Amino acid sequence: MTIFITGAAGFIGANLAKRVLTDEPGAHVVGLDNLNDYYDVRLKQARLAELEAFENFTFIRGDLADKRLISDLFARYRPQIVVNLAAQAGVRYSITNPDVYIESNIIGFYNILEACRQHPVEHLVYASSSSVYGSNSKVPYATEDKVDNPVSLYAATKKSNELLAHAYAKLYDIPCTGLRFFTVYGPAGRPDMAYFSFTNKLRAGETIQIFNYGNCKRDFTYIDDIVEGVLRVMRRPPERKTGTDGLPVPPYALYNIGNSQPENLLDFVRILSEELVRAGVLPEDYDFAAHQKLVPMQPGDVPVTYADTAPLERDFGFRPHTPLREGLRRFAQWYHDFYM
């Protein structure tokens, strides 16, 4: 089997590729990434170096928005499973740099859909985001909830991906599954995420900003739980069925993957600080109180994220379960080993 993973040098993509290559030695993983400099390229290169140690891994450096490249790759490798994880991430970055979100998240995803249409695949799995829920007041967030009021361009592009995928599933009978990820964290993660950026700033003696005066909750989901969820989903595409009208029912599904246990940001910062001290990243006498500042909510942010994962558990017998302290402990130890 050939599995095509976009964003293969990214946080989730690299961990997924490594797990597939380790658990399924007969599989051929083709990875695509443009290795852009949105964050420290050394992290992407380090992830990629681990993958290139596997003989059944092929890496292509290229851009998702390059339609000819994507079409050529599908024609050459004929993947049975496609996992689209490449995207321009970041809520706040989308406010000041909208062009790259349209190019990567809209045009790039369209190119993937077109390639799946021209070169039929068994299953297209793609990354959506908890951001699509916007400022919904009902919690936990369920995939049946209305998500028509995004509060950032990033969220709007992810909602657009879901709509496009549904249309292609209906029109061309392409089995598609969208996964709404909730605040993914862990070793070798994204430096723009709070746990990583806070660590960098605290180590540099800078002040961290805690938004909404600490009155925010996030459903932090450990990377291994995300990968396990993706693996289970990608192996079982939605069934192709015929409706009562004689027309195909879209083979389309949507799931949340989150820890279903929102953590208050102040508690999160306390646990992170304790684990950074434990790992030796920061000294025991570090004055955390002097390096924290409570600030108002920022544009594009939401006060809470909270995943309803009952459908994932019902259909795949799995729900994320890694406690926040355990996940942050692994991150802190990795950070110490990688940077110190």
- For residue 2, the SS3 value is strand
In residues, how long is the chain?
340
- For residue 211, the SS3 value is helix
CA gap 122, 228 in Å, rounded: 19
Catalytic residue among 154, 222, 252, 335: 154
Q: Whose structure tokens read 């600080």?
A: 273
CA gap 53, 197 in Å, rounded: 29
Q: What is the 3-state secondary structure (H, E, C) of 38-90?
A: CCCHHHHHHHHHHHCCCCCEEEEECCCCCHHHHHHHHHHHCCCEEEECCCCCC
Cβ atoms < 10 Å from Cβ of 340: 9
Contact call for residues 91 and 24 (beta carbons, < 8 A): no
Using CA atoms, how far residue 230 sits from 15, 226, 297, in Å, is: 11, 6, 32
Return the H-helix or E-strand segment holding 209: strand 208-210
Q: Is 38 an annotated catalytic residue? A: no
- State the distance between the two ends of the chain, measured CA to CA, in whole angstroms: 40
Active site residues: 154
